[in-house]
Amino acid sequence: MSVFSSMRYCLGDPSDYSAIWAALGFMPFGLFFDFMDGKIARWRKKSSLMGQELDSLADLVRVLHMQFPFGLSPAAAAFAIGIRTSLDHFFLAFFVLCGLTRLARFNVTVAVLPKDKTGKSKYFEGTPIPTTLSIASLMAYWVSQGWTHENIPFGVIGESTIFEFHPVVLLFVLHGCFMVSKTIHIPKP
């Protein structure tokens, strides 16, 4: 819904922020549903063949499940509000790929990370992908101030050259690097 709302904003009147507000507003739902699906499964303490099959399929698609609300959606919203030069595209794609890499690495390394007494991993390696909601919050602030399109904070560097980009896109690059860092260890709650 977030990505579609971003696209709807691109097709509409740039001064009507309702679609971009929807795009930014849908992103936290990904965190809510990711949190609730595990809680409900443990609360019910029930299993079935269908549940086991769905769990296996969910493990296979977990990367995509987390990538949409926390990787692709912020990049799509950034594009929609005007971060859309060719170099911006490259940087936003880098961010999305860092999110995919972070999630894939989590699925691969979760078995080898140090565990606590309950068998739960002690920390996240790299920043967890839901932390990208901080970028979504920042973009929501920009929208609330009308800082979109030609009013994006810090403007454009290298205007009318192949090196034209919005400096704020480097926040996405930095956050992407934090997500895939092997040296950043965030304790799990």
Task: Give the tens place of pLDDT for each residue, 97-119.
Answer: 998 888 777 777 766 777 777 76
CA proximity to 22, closest of 44, 48, 2: 2
The number of folded domains in the chain is 1
DSSP track, 72-91: IHHHHHHHHHT--SHHHHHH
Task: Give the tens place of pLDDT for each residue, 2-57.
Answer: 888 999 999 999 999 999 999 999 888 877 776 676 677 677 776 666 655 555 45
Residue 143 to residue 150: CA distance in whole angstroms: 12
Neighbour-count burial for 12-48, b at 16+ CB within 10 Å, e otherwise? eeeeebebbebbbebbbebbeebeeeeeeeeeeeeee
Residue 70 to residue 96: CA distance in whole angstroms: 9
Q: What is the domain extent for residue 48?
A: 2-187
Q: Locate tokens 């859309």: which residue? A: 84
Model confidence, pTM: 0.78
Which stretch of DSSP H or E encloses residue 35?
A: helix 18-44
Give the phi and the psi of residue 121 in degrees, each rounded to 5: -60, 140
